[in-house]
Structure 1
Amino acid sequence: MEEPFVHKIIKQGKIIESKMYLSKKGFIEKSEPLKKSDLDKAISAFPIKHYSNPYNETLFSERVGEKKENFSILEMDEFSVFIGDIYQVGEATIQVSQPGIVTREEVENGYRTGWYFRVINEGTIQPESDLILQERPYSQFSIAACSEIMYINRDDLWAADELFQCEALGLTWRKALRKRLRGY
């Protein structure tokens, strides 16, 4: 397998062609103070291979950014990315925090959710940069496995509790799992 790779960087619908500084806020464009749960979603990522739908006439390279992602990624997907994974990209360090926001239909159609990163260390990044895996602390929680626990196997409280205990999981997901575990 090739090294994971940030193919395109997209900010506010525009493809970034040069270096940019990645702060803790990532691509969040809010003027009001940020909450911790916002920082868990500083960068949205989506695998570029999901755009290669044979039923769509548009070339996948022209569709990049349709899911409003910030990173269009090559050589990664929801089965090879895990909660808590820490990557070096350029001078910045980022960590996978939670699956992306999708409809139930998208989850049932192959777990094509994408995922979010939080920024651990700020730094300069640029398109066509390698994502170098530094650490994988939770190898049991792929993005696909998390989506299965959250959306498909909703009655499996043991799995929900295991995922809730994952300290790297984003706050939004932890709150949703806590409600489920408490019977709400």
Structure 2
Amino acid sequence: MKIIQLSVGKPKNLTYQSKNYVSGISKDTVPEAFLAKDCFNGDGVANPEFHGGEERAVCFYPFEHYAMWEAEFKSQLKIPAFGENLTVDGMREAEVFIGDIYQIGEAVIQISQGRIPCSTISKHNHEDRFLKRVFETGYTGYFGKVLKEGMIRQDSEIILIDRHPLEISVLEANQTLFHDFRNEDRINNILKVNELAEAWKIQLNKKLDALHS
């Protein structure tokens, strides 16, 4: 596991198809940044209802997916194409489990949820099909909450401190919420992970309520 790129950035005015929008997806590479409880210093979100907060303090995206997306869309993507803070190698959604705890540099981070992507991914990468394909694959990236604040550098080591015993991967959670949301057993298994972000607990409980209505 290693950091490919560390990125932070405040919301900016952006344009797609002659329409303006404001988003924090466009980030800049930095050699180091201090990670506080709610975000990296110098980072920010445009819509706090759906982005940011302590359970979405750090956004990860697996570097391995870049080659696949570039081949599919026949265009080169500029990291961080998904607005991630940490572009990482060796940490794909199938290999990372909700509740896992990592030390990265001075900081300690716990994986809290998969990412629920929005249309900004398509706008930022100038590819209308992007959002649909991210949903279909479950290659969304994921978020972490900060257990210990500290400095993270481009060359900081990533160390797995604790693997969650239930081993519910980010990919399994994504596939359940996006595609297999009538599978009551899978939903209940995911909800057993106490460390799952509250927003995801609400979404999954709504799916359960719909099954029993």
Output the TM-score relative to the length of structure 2: 0.74
Question: Take 1:11 and 1:140, find their aligned partners in 2: how far apart are those partners?
Answer: 30
Q: Which runs of 5+ in 1 are unaligned?
A: none
8 Å CA contact 1:83–1:141 kept in 2: the answer is yes
Match of 2:116 in 1: 101
Match of 1:126 in 2: 153
Q: Percent identity, aligned pairs only?
A: 26
- The amino acid across from 2:115 in the alignment is G
2:39 counterpart of 1:22: no
Structure 1 segment 30-179 matched on structure 2, within 5 A: 38-52=53-67, 53-55=70-72, 56-58=74-76, 63-102=78-117, 103-109=131-137, 111-179=138-206
Q: Which runs of 5+ in 2 are unaligned?
A: 10-26, 118-130
**CA deviations over 1:40-76 (Å, ceiling 9, x no partner):** 1001110112111324342x5xx21111111110111
8 Å CA contact 1:98–1:169 kept in 2: the answer is yes
What's the Cα RMSD here?
2.4
**CA deviations over 1:112-135 (Å, ceiling 9, x no partner):** 110001110001110122210000
Number of residue pairs matched by the alignment = 175
8 Å CA contact 1:7–1:129 kept in 2: the answer is no
**CA deviations over 1:121-174 (Å, ceiling 9, x no partner):** 001110122210000124431111101111111110121122122111111101
> What is the DSSP-based 3-state SS (H/G/I as helix, E as strand, rest coil) of the residue aligned with 1:129?
coil
Question: Take 1:94 and 1:83, find their aligned partners in 2: how far apart are those partners?
Answer: 11
CA deviation after TM superposition for structure 1 residue 30, in Å = 6.4
8 Å CA contact 1:86–1:134 kept in 2: the answer is yes
For CA contacts below 8 A with separation 6 or more, give which structure has more relative contact order: 1
CA deviation after TM superposition for structure 1 residue 105, in Å = 3.2
- The amino acid across from 1:15 in the alignment is T
CA deviation after TM superposition for structure 1 residue 104, in Å = 4.9
- The amino acid across from 2:158 in the alignment is L
Question: Take 2:58 and 2:100, find their aligned partners in 1: how far apart are those partners?
Answer: 14
8 Å CA contact 1:87–1:131 kept in 2: the answer is yes
8 Å CA contact 1:95–1:118 kept in 2: the answer is yes
Output the TM-score relative to the length of structure 1: 0.85
- The amino acid across from 2:135 in the alignment is V
- The amino acid across from 1:71 in the alignment is L
